[in-house]
Amino acid sequence: MNLGKKYNVEIDRESAYEILQEKIAGTNRRKESPDEDSGSLRHANDYERPAPREREEESSFEKIIKSPVTKSIAVEITRGILGVLGLRSKKVFDEEVQVRNTT
């Protein structure tokens, strides 16, 4: 296949400027006669907005889960489980032993 034949063909296409000018003209015509549907883009004002959602109060469970106390308890439980399974890092374990021996 000869690329020269394929790409040397002149094509007269509309430029982006011409396309935008047609859309602007269509919008202006639509403003003058709103009953006529010209197929142009719709404006945000043409749509109904949904009612704003009211924020519901957090349930007791959600308050407990988001509590900093709950998060620190979860961290300590995780550390304990990992320590029992032997997955805890040796460095952290050695530091804790040193702290306990000094007090």
Divide the 103 residues of the chain into consecutive groups of 10 and give the mean pLDDT of each group: 76 79 82 58 70 82 92 92 78 63 63
Q: Do 64 and 94 share a domain, yes or no?
A: yes
SS3 13: coil
* pLDDT given at position 87: 77
Evaluate whether 79 touches 89 at the Cβ level (below 8 Å).
Answer: no
The domain in which residue 78 lies consists of 60-102
Number of domains in the chain: 2
Asked, for residue 55, whether it belongs to a domain, the answer is: no
Q: Has this prediction a pTM greater than 0.95?
A: no
* pLDDT given at position 19: 85
* pLDDT given at position 71: 93
Asked, for residue 50, whether it belongs to a domain, the answer is: no
How many angstroms separate the CA atoms of 84 and 78, rounded?
10
